[in-house]
Amino acid sequence: MTSLSVSSGIEHSCWYIDWTSWDTPVPEGVDMVNIFVGKIDLDNGNPTMGGFGNITPEKLDTFVKDCAAKNVKVKVSIGGAGGMYDNCWDVLNEGNTQAFAQMMVAFCQQHNLAGVDFDYEELKSPEQEALVGQLIKEFRTLDPNLEASLCTNAGFDAWKGGVQTILDATSNNGKSLLSRLYIMSYYDPLDQEEGFIAQWADWVKSSYGFTASQVTVGLDDFDANAYDIGEFAKWAGTNGFSTGYWAWNPATPDQSNASALKVLNSYKPLAQKAALASSRISKTDDLNNLETIVRRFESLAPKTIPVLRRIASTVSAAFKKVSSKFCCCCVPVE
């Protein structure tokens, strides 16, 4: 499996469909799996969370353990659109969001999950949207170590209103407690999808304190083939966004892995350039530290000044000689 680094906040994720196979292989090319799909419900007035097709609680525990062995985290995705769970949010009311949040936290802790993906696409009313936002806020407040993501359709103007109501309800002092916004940019041509993503990103960064890496570009060659997912992933990397692949199918793992790795490998060269830039900055910092040391010695031992200046000059010249072999984007010039 290709090794991933999440230190930059970039996430490469997938939605893992749970109805096609009893086998649960660990995906390659991702560092987060969203098991799709479950629902919330009430059982004799008590909040519950379940579904997940063929993935039983015992199988879920085994899958999470297998993923952890490969440095892959797991969330459960709740809701969806057009399926049997898309209206599961109708059970929410002002009096039970705290209880549902407590149940979700307990479920995640029991199964060693990274958090919950709120795939709320019903957008039934402003009142319900606010309840979903309040549920996310209470979930994250109860256990800040757990992650909460929200899914939205790509078209910005059509969907912004509902998402805004949700995010307003998740916010404290103008900053949303939502961990990540997944944008399901699947069906339109590439240039149009890129325009939607840019609008979403500009808005959540300016309005809710998001970083670019908290915006996830949804990539699809499972239901639609509107664009090349590698080209879209490359664009996402250029802008510092994360990626989310729809959909990883355990019945066809080789095909799903090929797509997920195509996304990752399209992204990788940009990450390497960033690493080179970081290395160059580190070397500059080292040189500045050396000059600081020289100034300290000047005040303590005036007789050492000529020697120390010659040392600093030699190191500085060597560094500038190496730096001259790099262009502005930190790619070695042959």
Residues of the chain with pLDDT under 70: 1-8, 83, 269-309, 311-312, 315-334
Report the SS3 class of residue 332. Answer: strand
- Block residue for tokens 């519950």: 48
- For the full predicted model, state whether its pTM sits above 0.75: yes
Matching residue, tokens 């802008």? 239
Q: 205-258, pLDDT tens digit by residue? A: 999 999 999 999 999 999 999 999 999 999 999 999 999 999 999 999 999 999
Tell me what pLDDT residue 82 has: 73
- Domain ranges for the chain, please list them: 12-269, 276-323
pLDDT at 332: 41
CA 70 to chain centre: 17
Confidence (pLDDT) at 59: 95
CA pair distance 277, 265, nearest whole angstrom: 19
Residue 198: per-residue pLDDT: 98
Task: State residue 333's pLDDT score.
Answer: 40
**What's the confidence (pLDDT) of residue 1?**
39
* Mean pLDDT taken over the chain: 86
- Position 330 scores a pLDDT of 42
The domain 12-269 having CATH identifier 3.20.20.80: the answer here is yes
Confidence (pLDDT) at 164: 98
C-alpha span between 113 and 117 (Å, rounded): 11
DSSP-assigned letters across all residues of 186-229: -SS-HHHHHHHHHHHHHHHHHHH---GGGEEEEEESSS--SS-H
Pairing of strands 73-80, 115-120: parallel
Are 172 and 161 in contact, with CB atoms under 8 Å apart? Answer: no
Q: Which helix (H) or strand (E) holds 324?
A: none
Give the pLDDT confidence of 3-32 residue by residue, as tens digits. Answer: 443 335 899 999 999 988 878 999 999 999
pLDDT of the residue at 20: 85
